[in-house]
Amino acid sequence: MTCLRDSDYNAVICKTKWENSSGLMAENYEFIDVIGFDSSWEQRFIVDVDFVGEFEIARSMENYKCLLNALPKVYIGRVEELKQIVRIMADATKRSLKRRDLSLPPWRKNRYM
């Protein structure tokens, strides 16, 4: 975050935290929120320094491993793209675990992630 600020970006570390509710377990999560702007545009980016680690699961199927390998280790992108990736990976996680006759933990569901 400091490097981004030194490069004249508006960057902050965001910490989210929620309690048990609606069937979701308590959790917290940290990411960097960056707003870049020029004279003609303003754009918001999310930076997650352990992005691929958020999707690792034990005993995954080979096709899931291929998707996981396609993810960047560090995510830098827009919120809309992040939501699409999370939805795709949550669905892939569900399919992979189901093929191994394993149940889907609540923290791997799309609405949790």
Please give the mean pLDDT across all residues of the chain: 83
Q: Using an 8 Å Cβ cutoff, are 68 and 85 in contact?
A: no
pLDDT of res. 44: 87
Whole-model pTM?
A: 0.76
Least confident of 3-12, 21-30, 38-47, 59-68: 21-30
Q: What is the pLDDT of residues 35-86, one digit of tens each?
A: 877 667 778 899 999 999 888 888 888 898 999 999 999 999 999 999 999 9
Answer for the pair 83, 89: CB distance below 8 angstroms, yes or no. Answer: no
pLDDT of residue 18: 65
Q: What local confidence, expressed as pLDDT, does residue 26 receive?
A: 59
| Contact assessment for residue 56 and residue 68, using Cβ atoms and an 8 Å cutoff | yes
Q: Where are the domains of the chain?
A: 2-108
